[in-house]
Amino acid sequence: MRSNRVKTGFEKAPHRSLFKAMGYIDEELDRPLIGIVNAKSEIIPGHIHLDTIAKAAKEGVRMAGGTPIEIPCIGVCDGIAMGHMGMKYSLPTRELIADSIEAMAIAHGFDGLVLIPNCDKIVPGMLMAAARLNIPAIVVSGGPMLAGKLGGQDVDLSTVFEAVGAVKAGKMTEEEMRELEDKACPSCGSCSGMYTANSMNCLTEALGMALPGNGTIPAVYAARVRLAKETGITIMELVEKDVKPRDIMGEDAFKNALTVDMALGCSTNSVLHLPAIANEVGISIDLDIVNEISEKTPNLCRLSPAGPHHVEDLYMAGGVQAVMKELSKANLIDIDRETVTGKTIGENIKRAEILNEEVIRSISNPYSKTGGIRVLRGNLAPDGAVVKQSAVAQEMLVHRGPARVFNSEEEAFESILNGNIKKGDVVIIRYEGPKGGPGMKEMLSPTSAIAGMGLDKDVALLTDGRFSGATRGASIGHVSPEAMEGGPIAVVEDGDIISIDIPAGRLDVELSDGEIERRLKTWKMPEPKIKEGYLARYASMVTSAGAGAVLKK
Catalytic residue ranges: 468
Cα of 169 vs its chain's centroid, Å: 31
The secondary structure of residue 6, as a DSSP letter, is: G
380 and 488 Cβ atoms separated by less than 8 Å: yes
DSSP result, 422-481: -TT-EEEE-S-STTTTTS--B-HHHHHHHHHTT-TTT-EEEESSB--TT--SSEEEEEES
Cα of 74 vs its chain's centroid, Å: 16
HEC profile of 312-359:
HHHHHCCHHHHHHHHHHCCCCCCCCCECCCCCEHHHHCCCCCCCCCCC
* 66 residue type, one letter: G
The Cα–Cα gap between 441 and 506 comes to 24
Backbone angles phi, psi at 24, to 5 degrees: -70, 145
**SS3 assignment, position 229:** helix
Pick the closest to residue 401 from 268, 492, 500 (CA basis).
Answer: 500
Pick the closest to residue 463 from 546, 399, 407 (CA basis).
Answer: 407
Cross-strand partners of 302: none
285 and 222 Cβ atoms separated by less than 8 Å: no
The Cα–Cα gap between 73 and 472 comes to 31
Pick the closest to residue 395 from 479, 482, 455 (CA basis).
Answer: 455
Backbone angles phi, psi at 250, to 5 degrees: -90, 180
* 262 residue type, one letter: M
